[in-house]
């Protein structure tokens, strides 16, 4: 857990030093205490942990929580759709340019064609290939995908507003 995250999560009136001996030894209990002030729902809580604490276990928990509410005949497709929706909401940084928006070679610096200012362009074609679907198959699932994504975006907005980020 880094200090920037802590600054985000700790209510403005709280002192960090009181919760532990050093800023670098924040425990999960500290985080729980902070988050418990914020009246977060279970999914908002898991979302914040997933987004700000880099540990795969939190992503797994959030993934399971979201998946619980949906049903698809093909579970593998459901897994892929929920996973992609999470990636679009939480990890939209372009991998081609490292999130800089510019591809630099020895002699040139050109605008990265895969993103807008470092945020990856998730087009229908890109989504289809990430989901391992032909375009026509993706189109059949598009409405469902958009619903899942919108749900996660709403969780992000409500959880951040509860901890005072926006």
For residues 34 and 12, is the Cβ–Cβ distance under 8 A? no
Min dist. Cβ of residue 114 to Zn ion (A): 5
Only one of the segments 44-52, 72-80, 109-117, 135-143 lies at the binding site for Zn ion (rule: CB under 5 A); that segment is: 109-117
Cβ closer to Zn ion: 117 or 153? 117
To the nearest 10 degrees (0 to 180), the angle between helices 135-162 and 75-90 is: 50
Cβ closer to Zn ion: 38 or 102? 102
Only one of the segments 10-18, 53-61, 90-98, 142-150 lies at the binding site for Zn ion (rule: CB under 5 A); that segment is: 90-98
DSSP string, 27-74: -HHHHHHHHHTTT--HHHHHHHHHHHS--HHHHHHHHHHHHTT---S-
To the nearest 10 degrees (0 to 180), the angle between helices 124-131 and 75-90 is: 130
Under rule CB under 5 A, residue 96 binds Zn ion:
yes
Among 82, 84, 86, 94, binds Zn ion (CB under 5 A): 94
For residues 43 and 155, is the Cβ–Cβ distance under 8 A? yes
List the interface residues with Zn ion, window 21-80 (CB under 5 A). Answer: none
Q: What is the binding site for Zn ion (CB under 5 A)?
A: 94, 96-97, 112, 114-115
């Amino acid at each position: 857990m880094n200090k920037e995250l802590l600054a985000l999560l700790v209510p403005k009136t709280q002192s960090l030093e009181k919760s532990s001996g050093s800023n670098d030894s924040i425990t999960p209990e500290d985080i729980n205490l902070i988050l418990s002030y914020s009246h977060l729902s279970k999914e908002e809580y898991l979302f914040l942990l997933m987004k700000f604490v880099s540990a795969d276990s939190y992503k797994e928990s959030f993934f399971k929580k979201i998946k619980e509410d949906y049903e698809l005949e093909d579970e593998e497709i459901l897994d892929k759709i929920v996973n992609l929706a999470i990636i679009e909401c939480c990890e939209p940084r372009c991998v081609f340019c490292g999130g800089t928006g510019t591809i630099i070679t020895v002699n040139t610096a050109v605008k990265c064609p895969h993103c807008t200012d470092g945020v990856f362009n998730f087009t229908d074609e890109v989504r289809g290939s990430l989901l391992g679907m032909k375009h026509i198959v993706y189109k059949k699932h598009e409405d469902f995908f958009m619903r899942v994504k919108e749900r996660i975006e709403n969780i992000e907005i409500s959880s951040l507003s509860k901890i005072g980020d926006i």
